[in-house]
Structure 1
Amino acid sequence: MSHDVPPDSPATRPATRATTAPPGTQTLARGIAVVDAVARGHGRLRDIAAETGIGRSTTHRLLQLLLATGYVRRLDDGRYALGPALIELGYQALQENPVADVAGGPLRELAARVSDTVHLAVEDRGQVLYLDKIPGTRGAEMRSRVGHRMPLTRTGVGKALLLDQPERWRDLFVAERRVGGDTPDDPAADVLTPDEFVAVMETSARRGVAFDLEENEPGILCVAAPVRDASGAIVAAVSVSATRPYMPPARVEALVPVVLDAAATIAAGLGHRSGGR
């Protein structure tokens, strides 16, 4: 006998994208919710079911289909992890993104020029999504990686992506601190008030460049600039990040025109005219 609760029960409504699924797409939405749960590190059947709110027998059936199609895989210890089909699709999606395609050459040139870690990111579903990363040559390890997501207001690239949207600054800052800033060792538990953050963003918007001064990761500083498309809209951001010893205030300032130039080169490849915004 199935132990699933009725389909219209709140317990069957996944906590992710399935909650907004259009009528007639519940099964697809549940499958997506299961993949999302696995992607967030929930590897056991019971944990996936609890995270999504889907009954365990339904979750098990969905996992069997996802296993058969390569969207998840089974590890030796029995946990589930993302499968090879997603690697293929992710790579294809990355290749089809015009920003990532255009930015490749300028990013490599920038990385060779600065010897530090270079990032390319876009906003996706209200978060920073890293499209490219070229590690620096100074041996510093950073937790960012291609496909990784981070909060917008805690990262240099995130702030750069927000420069044209002052109406979002305060509310997004408060929301992201509420989610992640409750512990003393959390970078989000900073001393900025919402008013101070807005003031910082106003200054950044005037200069056209944003900074991360150890707000996202202790010991890491970042200079970031927005990338605009042919319409003048910000569609991506590029940054240079390094550890504190390589980022004294004078070098942070010296990197501003360097990062702006790289962003402008990428923007030109997207059809942006420098005489515009």
Structure 2
Amino acid sequence: MTENLDRRSSEPIPQGTQTLARGLQIISAVAHGSKTLKAVIDTTGLGRSSAHRMIQLLVQMGYLRHGSPGEFRLGPTLIEFGFTALNQDPLPVVARESLEALAERTQDTIHLSVEDGESVLYLHKIPGTRGAEMRSRIGHRMPLTRTGVGKALLLGQEDRWERLFIAENPEADSAAVESFVKRMNGYTRDGASFDLEENEPGIRCVAAPIRDGSGEIVAGISLSATRPFMPKDRMQALVPVMKSAAREISVKLGYH
């Protein structure tokens, strides 16, 4: 469970911090759907009495709250901290004006995302005004190799493509891996990437990377719509639009 708790680090938990780690395990378990005491115990491996005491403390401090009888939800303290974390990150603030202009121009769903723990993490979303509502939400995680914005975050990182694709698509054969690598080479040349309903049936996406002052890719933006509003010729036409919006945000982050 420790590995699931912190996907960004493989370092062992420092001695003397086991109690803190267990509390964080409980929060992580509830966040990922373990809503009852039994479910938390099954997920974390903690003893019943220890888990019960920690849950009581977490509820008291606002990290968890009571939902339906016998169930728990994430609490208001985490909501407060979440908004504080977003406000402390300059990226959503810097990108907001460009994203709003893009949304108004296209009427489609816009996402701002970063890579976190080898997955896509959505930082900002502007819902489209036509077609079906996307299932994505701020704070949601998605695979890197099956989303347009995930591929945009991986442009030029040839040494990671095959490993990540196999990890996220364990049923894929060698032909599928080769096809993915070929597409990624093309996306890298074009400076933009597509999602051709690989992540969600009926939803297509065009994405482009955002770079900081060092030239490194630090985020990605994507534009998503249902298939009737996103034929392949429109996707191609949107490539320079997305690259221009991403470049505008990149310049604000110091990119030249």
Whether contact under 8 Å (1:208, 1:225) holds in the other structure is: yes
CA–CA distance in 2 between the matches of 1:192 and 1:57? 51
Whether contact under 8 Å (2:131, 2:226) holds in the other structure is: no
Q: 2:4 aligns with which of 8, 11, 16?
A: 16
Deviations 1:11-51 (A, max 9, x none): xx656337832222111111111101100111011111111
Whether contact under 8 Å (1:119, 1:134) holds in the other structure is: yes
Q: 1:39 aligns with which of 6, 31, 46?
A: 31
Q: Does 1:164 find its partner at 2:147?
A: no
Q: 2:91 aligns with which of 66, 84, 99?
A: 99
Q: Which residue of 2 aligns with 1:271?
A: 254
Whether contact under 8 Å (2:103, 2:128) holds in the other structure is: yes
What is the number of residues matched between the two proteins? 252
| Structure 1 unaligned blocks of 5 or more | 1-12, 182-188
Q: Does 1:148 find its partner at 2:140?
A: yes
Q: Which residue of 2 aligns with 1:184?
A: none
Deviations 1:142-192 (A, max 9, x none): 1100010111111111110111311110011001113xx6xxxxxxx8996
Q: Does 1:239 find its partner at 2:202?
A: no
Q: Does 1:108 find its partner at 2:100?
A: yes
The one-letter code sitting in structure 2 at the alignment partner of 1:88 is: E
Whether contact under 8 Å (1:16, 1:52) holds in the other structure is: no
Over 3 Å counting, the alpha-carbon distance change for 1:190 and 1:118 in structure 2 is farther
Secondary structure of 1:193 counterpart: helix
Q: Which residue of 1 aligns with 2:202?
A: 219
Q: Which residue of 2 aligns with 1:198?
A: 181
Q: 1:173 aligns with which of 149, 155, 165?
A: 165
Q: Does 1:120 find its partner at 2:112?
A: yes
The one-letter code sitting in structure 1 at the alignment partner of 2:201 is: P
Q: CA deviation at 1:125?
A: 1.2
What percent identity do the matched residue pairs reach?
56
The one-letter code sitting in structure 2 at the alignment partner of 1:208 is: G
CA–CA distance in 1 between the matches of 2:156 and 2:90? 21
| Structure 2 unaligned blocks of 5 or more | none
The one-letter code sitting in structure 1 at the alignment partner of 2:157 is: Q
TM-score with structure 2 setting the length: 0.94
Over 3 Å counting, the alpha-carbon distance change for 1:119 and 1:58 in structure 2 is same
Whether contact under 8 Å (1:107, 1:118) holds in the other structure is: yes
Structure 1 runs, 4 residues or longer, greater than 6 Å off? 189-192
CA–CA distance in 2 between the matches of 1:58 and 1:216? 39
Deviations 1:167-218 (A, max 9, x none): 110011001113xx6xxxxxxx899611111111111111110110000000
Secondary structure of 1:237 counterpart: strand
